[in-house]
Amino acid sequence: MTTGQRHPRVPLPYLAMDIFAQQLINGLVLGSIYALVALGYTMVYGILGLINFAHGDITMVGALVSLTILQALAAAGLPAPVLLVIAGGGAMIVCAALGLSIERVAYRPLRRAPRLAPLITAIGVSILLQYSAALIWGKQYIAMPKLLEPAAIEIAGAQLTTLQMTIFLLACAIMAALLWFIKVSRMGRAMRATEQNPDVAGLMGVNTNTVIAFTFVLGSAIGAIAGLMIILYYGIGHYFMGFMLGLKAFTAAVLGGIGNVGGAVLGGLLLGVIESLASGYIGDLSGGVLGSNYRDIFAFLVLVLVLVLRPSGLLGQHSGDRA
Tell me which residues in 97-126 interact with other proteins (CB under 8 A). 106, 109-110, 112-121, 123-126
62 vs 155: CA distance, rounded Å? 32
Contact pick of 132, 185, 210, 319 for other proteins (by CB under 8 A):
132
Residues in contact with other proteins, counted by CB under 8 A, come to a total of 86
Helix/strand/coil for 237: strand
Torsion of CA 65, 243, 301, 29, to 10 degrees: -10
Q: How far apart are CA 317 and CA 174, in angstroms?
A: 23
User: Which residue, 89 or 150, is less far from other proteins as judged by CB?
Assistant: 150
Shortest distance, CB of residue 184 to other proteins, whole angstroms?
31
Residues 12-41 that bind other proteins (CB under 8 A): 16, 18-19, 22-23, 26-27, 30
Site for other proteins in 180-209 (CB under 8 A): none
Considering the complex, state which of residue 190 and residue 276 has its C-beta at the smaller distance from other proteins.
276
Residue whose CB is less far from other proteins, 30 or 315: 30
Cα(301)–Cα(286) distance, integer angstroms: 16
Site string for other proteins, 217-236 (x = CB under 8 A): -----------------xxx
- Closest approach, Cβ 271 to other proteins, in A, equals 13
Answer yes or no whether residue 10 interacts with other proteins by CB under 8 A: no
Distance CA 86, CA 72 (A): 11
The secondary structure of residue 151, as a DSSP letter, is -
Q: Exposed, middle or buried by CB within 10 Å (0-12, 13-18, 19+), for 323?
A: exposed
